[in-house]
Structure 1
Amino acid sequence: MPAYVEVIGNLLQNPEQRPVSVKGEDRLITELRVYSDVYKRDPDDESKMIQDDAKCDPYNVTIWNERLGTEIMKLLRKGARVRIAGEQTLQKWEDKETDMPRVALHIDADTCELRLNRIEEIRFRAKRVES
């Protein structure tokens, strides 16, 4: 049973879209790689925060909502700070080159929000005028 999780971190690469077929219906999914990072107080200097490597993990993220995926493709790129929320699962497979078992954390996200860290400017598009 998957758990509902919230992850905050940076995109490891630019988002990618690809078509998939689900029950004979074509869908366009958006895929992200997010590195979740957690910080703690530096034991040597309480005024500094340092990354807690034991609690940081990379996640494979799939966005099934095509409208959200389209906006992600327009607005996000590698390095963007995001908050992802959705169902987490553990993907398991066997590496074809090494025949070794592999695992990865995966999130089927229903929410992707841009965090304001690293944002230099925000511009809003003009309001649409109904005719």
Structure 2
Amino acid sequence: MSNIIEVTGNMGDNPSLENTTYGPVVRLRMLCDEYKPIERDGETEYVADEAKQEWYSVSIWRDGLRDQVMKLLRKGMRITVQGRLTVGKFEDRDSGEMRYALQVNADSLFLNLNRVEHIEMRAKRRSDAADNAPAHDQHDDRPFD
């Protein structure tokens, strides 16, 4: 049985790379929240609803994704993670009570662009197939090549 989940929230810390017996993994925590409208001075303002906030621990095992997360993402960025949900159980050191932690093993991760100011793409890879491709048709309106 597999529990697939998609969560959106802000990164609570910078990603960290750990070497485990199963290989390298990037870990991060994210706060997923909902916003509720509040009327102030005739204006609608959206504020986080603290009753609907959940922390998730995210593990990223895939090489390419793991490397890009370490290179590009930082605390505070708004991301969406898709992956498998597990619930971990642990004993609280202070109270001795059993606690639960929501954990996501990420299959994919997306950066939400609402706070991004600049993106720079690396140069497109050139292949032999591209060298032998027919000349570009200037009437072709496709947004990619």
Instruction: State the TM-score bracket (shorter-chain normalisation).
Output: 0.7 to 0.9
String of CA shifts for 1:40-75, please: whole Å, max 9, x gaps: 222666732221222111110111212210110001
Question: What residue ranges of structure 2 are gaps of 5+ in the alignment?
Answer: 129-145
Instruction: Please tell me whether the aligned partners of residues 10 and 36 of structure 1 are also in contact (alpha carbons under 8 angstroms).
Output: yes
Distance, in Å, in 1 between the alignment partners of 2:15 and 2:83 is 17
Instruction: Please tell me whether the aligned partners of residues 83 and 112 of structure 1 are also in contact (alpha carbons under 8 angstroms).
Output: yes
Structure 1 residue 18, shift from structure 2 partner: 1.0
1:69 is aligned with what amino acid? Answer: R
1:20 is aligned with what amino acid? Answer: T
Equivalent pairs: percent with the same residue? Answer: 39
Structure 1 residues 121 and 103: CA distance shift in structure 2, 3 A: same
Compare the two structures and name the one with the higher strand fraction: 1
Q: State the secondary structure of the residue aligned to 1:92.
A: strand
Q: State the secondary structure of the residue aligned to 1:67.
A: helix
Partner residue in 1 for 2:62? 65
Q: Which has the higher contact order (CA 8 A, sep 6+)?
A: 1
Q: TM-score, structure 1 length as denominator?
A: 0.84
How many residues align? The count is: 127
Q: CA RMSD in A?
A: 2.1
1:92 is aligned with what amino acid? Answer: K
